[in-house]
Structure 1
């Protein structure tokens, strides 16, 4: 009997050893199998793991203009966190984190038994190390295979990183609800402070959220959140992380959440697009989502007022021209190839064109209008176009099927699902309704040339054409001050110089277009600018030489190619609003040119400043006295010329209206002693604005509205007159010194050495005498040598903000 027992024991032990050996071999090969395709930990080990972070775009006063992110996260080093923040997380999630080697074996066995009983993987018993592996290296599937891979990677991570490094990864990776990732963003969202400033009570509340961000959110479930805080504080006291007094003090601290901050996404989308482009240039393509902080020059109050002023101005235009819905299908389809005919082919966003499409259906519940534009299916969100739908009609009533709509393509972020090929059908492309004209406004600080406000469209949506910095439009008569400032610079003209305005004296300009031509043959240069007399401007450029004016315009910052011809003062060539307003800012700054600035500072995620490309130093284009003279002449535009509405600003201002042929472009550009502002209005496809529309009606009202708000509460100041500008009384008819005892005189400004020396004689021959004394010698423009003037530096030397 005893022999049989020993034989049985021997066999049992042998079998057990064989099973153990087979199990070990099986376990070895299983581990090798699962290790074979494990993801690399090199990025984490070598510190090259950089999760997506929030990039913040700030206004000049620190107001957040936008936050750019895919995951709202701001990475903070573990050294910056107080110990009670780290201990609260450990108490809630893994109290023995600093004791184990990455795995909680007891917890894993307990979880496995529960999962076996339930027939599926319900519990995980994950340590902080395992959660780091799951969130960074693996997908979140709940399978035994993933749990094995997770355990293997956890052990590897523990061998390659310190505990503090693992905890830092965890604190910056975990989700806290409401779209916030990481301890820093959670602290900002819930308590309006940095994680380094959290109290013990606040740290416990945040730690309690991790287990169930939706269930334990203090904004959604305050009672459950408070209970969870009590649990965490209890665990901290039990584990010896805090004492009883600290626990009680934290329990009695009231939970005070920060006010949820509304985003300013609609305040300056044009600025955000420029910031994105600049970030990619100076810090690489990944910088947009890399946790950078970009400080801009934008004044949030002025930015808000700029958009309000533009919108109000455009809405008044819409009322004047009946552009507010409902719309209706055409009684007769427009002729193929005409401006109003439906577009054919595949449109491209890069072309920035207005296209005609046909409404195919509408979704009243979602407020969507589906439009076929050539080979593309697009959609208009009606709620984004309240400008044309003030009565809030449903989509099908606003634009029935068959209605032809003028639309443009909006830029859109690429859907990751489309990249992965998971979408079998491309969604409709977002479209912007383009029934009415658009506008742009840009405001510069004259002294610093910082951009204070920048608005490039009515809608304030991301994407599309930013007309303030990208659109090239004919500046019309706003170009005349460039011509006249050069004429003053040559010393051959003064504000009192008489210019020929005889009917039909310039080919292509009809006397009917020149009110002054009916009553006089000559006009003083100041009055010619004030009343925007085209024929006078053409005579001036013919005398000073178009090629010289082209060089002068380039020195003042106009980058658009221009030809040396007589149409320059009529604004026949194109320019950007940002360039034109900077020309006027140069006048206001006494002739000192400087490039506009939009970005003053870029900081990387660690707070280190990113160097901006060097910008060229400011340079003098004209003498201060010359700049004062053109400013003085531009004040006459306001006092008694085409810009009289600007007197409503209630302070000294200078400026010029502009209206291109057929009123396709309407402008007003002007300045005070502090701010220069340009406003442009027009259709993107250069349609005429309509009867009785001009710069004074379609642009100037927005300028006045903005300037009044911008200067509210500040005392008016005069443009300072340089000492070498002379004040002389002249005869208003001839521009000469007045006769003895003449009473009908006026005061005029002159550069030293250009003042009149001839005294008018009050007799019948005065005008004959004037012809020989005042007339500029006739010299063909192209025979005159071009003057060498300072030009803009090459584009590569500057940040291409615009």
Structure 2
């Protein structure tokens, strides 16, 4: 990936141990050569000629030995140099860095990294940090040529005594070689490579470049590499902002992060800091007064950073996919910054709202421990479980309080549930023996393949919430389930479920847009009046006589919605749903009116956001910016510009109709928000899905509740009980501090009094007349006829005695 290559593992130069052995053999031969001959019987030769002769022999031997050593040295160096890794890549140093995912305000939502590192140019590293590092590791860095010869000699003596590499006299240059280009293997062979590479680096790079490599690469403990990540971890700030005392503390950690980390041992860290500051005083790197002030400064650490994936794992998963699409596999290594549209406060509110809503459902349906056996318990699953994606009914067979596990048999398989991860159903923290009785049947799901035997409780339904800024179409909150898990199912974006009656807003909205319906249109409510598809109404009392569109929508009359779809045309509604951003497969038949075709919560929130935005449609966006390692902005997929799907007046009429659902209809609980809200509840057959989709002038929000396997919610659960509470809880927090503003009325709106029974214009002075909104040019022209019974009564009243 363009990173640094590892040192070659092919056959290399002879080990230094073999060279040393050869030199020792030569020395032994010299010793034998210099041995004195035994005295003979003859007279001794004169001393001076003997000395000259032996001196000549010694000089020849020493010269030969020296020549052999020089030749051997150069041969070894040549062989090593041929086998050394290249240093050219240091000019394009690109180590693994942290990729950060940010909320819109800069809050870190999560990170992706192999090594947690952020590169900083040496020109942006404050001098106190650089000087502290030099004082701690290599005070003569700017004076030597890459090697500390006195330190090397000292280390050589130690290593020769032990016959192996135990000590090094490493300079910063050597540490760069060791950490970046070579392994940490402690052998004489690797040391020889290190020395040669250090000299080569000094010839090819400037001192500042070498120092930059060092400061960005070294390890500071706790998984942090480089001075920037170290400063963030220990002090909660960029290295650009560290003080002298903080710089000295960081520099002192490098010698032994596990020993000198202030999060491990503050006392040792303080002593090590004092040593570094003392070195800086001795080398006169910093004035003595500043040193004294730094020594007196207490160690102040920032709280350990918490980048919990629990806040927005669904967001992280989608943002990571966007990054990989933009940059490929470099995403894992490259130090990118991905900015999302998420508002962290709204995200937290959304997660809490979903959990509270599902917890309330669990309380209503006795899905909270302790669980006792009952006569009405369902029969457990029989057979061999094979599908890890479905839920099974298993029977409790035992409990292990010491391990915190519950043993459950699922047909022919045996598994365990770790109750420590089941806080949703065990809020009181009961031990397994008190959590459920042996023999109790519980709904479970395999966490992986069934053969592994790991189970999770799946007693209650799941939920999803997506909130969109109506003006910008930026997704401000996204929750895909009770427990967020990076890489898990994001039900808000990817779970296709029937939307139920929430789809009626799209049917009626199109009728308004096409000028085929008005708020006062009279719609059939009796199934007998329909041909072919004849749905029932949730409230059977609603099928007596035609109702005005507003009233039918407020009370979610099914037959009226089907009649409206029949009149405007299913094909046209499907096409218009596409205009609103619904890409899921939709069928052009009358069941479309009741939300029979599956969509995602994200699609529904986007469609309703069009109504809130005055009829302007735009694709919702989550990732707003991606920056490269050097801060350069990377191109994102082209986003289609905003376009009108309906006029502002048409959107206003649709919104006004949806406010009746809150004011007098199925979502009256939302009046507690004390601000104008438009929206629609939705419940599918057998209550398999419960919805509420709604909006204010600022935010559109969709909430869904249901089981992943489409099991019925039961207990007469509907959208107003199983979804609307989450909407209310979220919107209350999301609008905190915002004024309650009305939906602005655009030009082209006409308000007229109408007769509530017929939808016609009210007679002058009609007492039960109601005001209705119309698009200009679609208002009714006929006046309601008087009630005949009322006329007769009026005549009789004329003849009553006064």
| CA deviations over 1:727-764 (Å, ceiling 9, x no partner) | 11111111111234421111111111111111122244
- What is residue 389 of structure 1 aligned with on the other side? 426
Contact 2:691 2:705 (8 Å CA) reproduced: yes
- What is residue 787 of structure 1 aligned with on the other side? none
Task: Note closer, same or farther for the CA distance 1:571–1:174 as it changes in structure 2 (3 Å cut).
Answer: same
- What is residue 48 of structure 2 aligned with on the other side? 2
Contact 1:629 1:750 (8 Å CA) reproduced: yes
- What is residue 760 of structure 2 aligned with on the other side? 736
Give yes or no for the alignment of 1:537 onto 2:561.
yes
- What is residue 21 of structure 1 aligned with on the other side? 67
Instruction: Please point out which of 696, 705, 708 is paired with 1:681.
Output: 705
- What is residue 797 of structure 1 aligned with on the other side? none
Aligned counterparts, 1:165-244, within 5 A: 165-244=209-288
Give yes or no for the alignment of 1:571 onto 2:595.
yes
Could you tell me the TM-score, scaled by structure 2's length?
A: 0.86
Aligned counterparts, 1:348-427, within 5 A: 367=404, 381-394=418-431, 398=435, 406-407=444-445
Per-residue deviation, 1:327: 6.5
Per-residue deviation, 1:324: 2.7
Greater CA drift, 296-305 or 32-41: 32-41
| CA deviations over 1:187-209 (Å, ceiling 9, x no partner) | 22222332222222322221111
Aligned counterparts, 1:545-584, within 5 A: 545-584=569-608
Per-residue deviation, 1:554: 0.3
Per-residue deviation, 1:706: 1.2
Distance 1:764 1:447 in 2: 51
Per-residue deviation, 1:504: 3.2
SS of residue in 1 equivalent to 2:104: coil
- What is residue 334 of structure 1 aligned with on the other side? 381
- What is residue 462 of structure 2 aligned with on the other side? 438
Task: Note closer, same or farther for the CA distance 1:280–1:396 as it changes in structure 2 (3 Å cut).
Answer: farther
Instruction: Please point out which of 71, 80, 83 is paired with 2:115.
Output: 71
Contact 2:382 2:412 (8 Å CA) reproduced: no
Contact 1:504 1:510 (8 Å CA) reproduced: no
Give yes or no for the alignment of 1:622 onto 2:646.
yes
SS of residue in 2 equivalent to 1:406: strand
Instruction: Please point out which of 57, 81, 92 is paired with 1:11.
Output: 57
Per-residue deviation, 1:395: 5.4
| CA deviations over 1:704-747 (Å, ceiling 9, x no partner) | 11112222333322112223211111111111112344211111
Instruction: Please point out which of 720, 727, 751 is paired with 2:775.
Output: 751
Per-residue deviation, 1:261: 3.2
| CA deviations over 1:216-236 (Å, ceiling 9, x no partner) | 222332232222222222222
In structure 2, the gaps of 5 or more residues are 1-46, 791-802
SS of residue in 1 equivalent to 2:714: coil
Count of residues paired in the alignment: 739
Give yes or no for the alignment of 1:137 onto 2:181.
yes
- What is residue 60 of structure 1 aligned with on the other side? 104
- What is residue 35 of structure 2 aligned with on the other side? none
Instruction: Please point out which of 683, 686, 699 is paired with 1:659.
Output: 683
Greater CA drift, 585-594 or 320-329: 320-329
| CA deviations over 1:357-406 (Å, ceiling 9, x no partner) | 89999876665679999999998653332001223244576579998753
SS of residue in 2 equivalent to 1:679: strand
Per-residue deviation, 1:145: 2.9
Task: Note closer, same or farther for the CA distance 1:291–1:367 as it changes in structure 2 (3 Å cut).
Answer: farther
Distance 2:184 2:406 in 1: 38
Instruction: Please point out which of 480, 492, 498 is paired with 2:516.
Output: 492
Contact 2:542 2:557 (8 Å CA) reproduced: no
SS of residue in 2 equivalent to 1:468: helix
In structure 1, the gaps of 5 or more residues are 337-341, 412-425, 767-802
Distance 2:335 2:419 in 1: 34
Could you tell me the TM-score, scaled by structure 1's length?
A: 0.86
Distance 1:277 1:432 in 2: 27
- What is residue 515 of structure 1 aligned with on the other side? 540
Contact 1:477 1:659 (8 Å CA) reproduced: yes
Distance 2:413 2:587 in 1: 39
Instruction: Please point out which of 678, 690, 693 is paired with 1:669.
Output: 693
| CA deviations over 1:299-334 (Å, ceiling 9, x no partner) | 111111111111011011112222234569999652
Contact 1:446 1:585 (8 Å CA) reproduced: yes
